[in-house]
């Protein structure tokens, strides 16, 4: 059972009123999610408040992509902290109608999220993003031999839409060296930094 009691620190909010309002919002989302045993809600809010609390990981002027954004908690939190140039990209999975769509409507981020087929060309212009966050979406399918072509295409497309010195943030993974070697193997010329970011940052 998901516990709504917040683990997050009030210091990440402007004031107590905003803190209470967000807790109320979490409760509303919880009512949507609880029947589906969705147990990561509180963790998502905590993760993104810490990420966007300062300009430690990205600047407010940056173009940011959450690659694999799910219901858009990252977008909601980023905009509350003044990071307005943020977009989300994901696929419509089996939980889209029951969880994802209702939550997107509650937190009002539908204009910043694009859903696509999950492979092939990404719907963004070349050299657009300063920062791409892909907690697990970037590392998905690695290093599965039967998914190598899909993974290669994903990496190439992420490079295409990244600026010359962009930063990618990924979750801790034993496949980090694989990802970096694949990046070099594909002879991709941009100076992209790939950094590991703890889920509890």
Of the pLDDT bands very low, low, confident and very high (cuts 50, 70, 90), residue 144 is: low
Q: How confident is the model at residue 130 (pLDDT cuts 50, 70, 90)?
A: very high
pLDDT digits over 65-120, tens only?
Answer: 999 888 888 898 898 889 999 999 998 876 677 677 877 887 788 899 998 877 78
Cα–Cα distance measured from residue 131 to residue 201, given in angstroms and rounded to the nearest whole number:
16
Output 128 or 29, whichever has higher pLDDT. Answer: 128
More confident residue, 81 or 21: 81
Q: How does pLDDT run across 150-194, given as a tens digit for each residue?
A: 888 888 999 999 999 999 998 877 777 878 888 888 878 899 998
Q: What is the pLDDT of residue 4?
A: 35
Phi and psi angles of residue 192, each rounded to the nearest 5 degrees, phi first: -85, 135
What's the whole-model pTM score?
0.78
Domains of the chain listed by start with CATH number:
57-196 (3.40.50.150)
- Each as own residue / partner, the long-range contacts of residues 70-73 (CB below 8 Å, 24 or more positions apart, any chain) are 70/44, 70/100, 71/99, 71/100, 71/103, 71/104, 71/107, 72/103, 72/104, 72/107, 72/109, 72/110, 72/112, 72/113, 73/44, 73/45, 73/47, 73/48, 73/107
pLDDT (0 to 100) of residue 163: 96
């Amino acid at each position: 059972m998901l516990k709504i009691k917040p683990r997050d620190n009030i210091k990440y909010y402007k004031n107590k009123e905003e803190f209470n309002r967000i807790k109320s919002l979490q409760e509303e989302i919880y009512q949507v999610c609880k029947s589906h045993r969705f147990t990561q809600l509180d963790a998502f809010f905590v993760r993104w408040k810490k990420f966007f609390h300062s300009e430690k990981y990205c600047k407010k002027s940056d173009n940011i992509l959450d690659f694999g954004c799910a219901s858009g908690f990252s977008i909601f939190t980023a905009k509350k902290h003044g990071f307005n140039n943020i977009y989300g990209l994901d696929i419509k999975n089996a939980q889209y109608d029951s969880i994802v769509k209702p939550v997107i409507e509650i937190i009002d981020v539908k204009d910043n999220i694009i859903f696509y087929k999950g492979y092939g060309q990404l719907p963004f212009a070349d050299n657009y993003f300063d920062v791409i966050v892909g907690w697990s979406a970037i590392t998905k399918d690695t290093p599965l031999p039967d998914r190598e072509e899909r993974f290669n295409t994903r990496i190439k497309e992420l490079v295409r839409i990244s600026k010359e010195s962009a930063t990618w943030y990924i979750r801790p993974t034993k496949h980090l060296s694989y990802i970096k070697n694949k990046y070099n193997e594909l002879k991709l010329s941009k100076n992209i930094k790939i950094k590991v970011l703890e889920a509890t940052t």
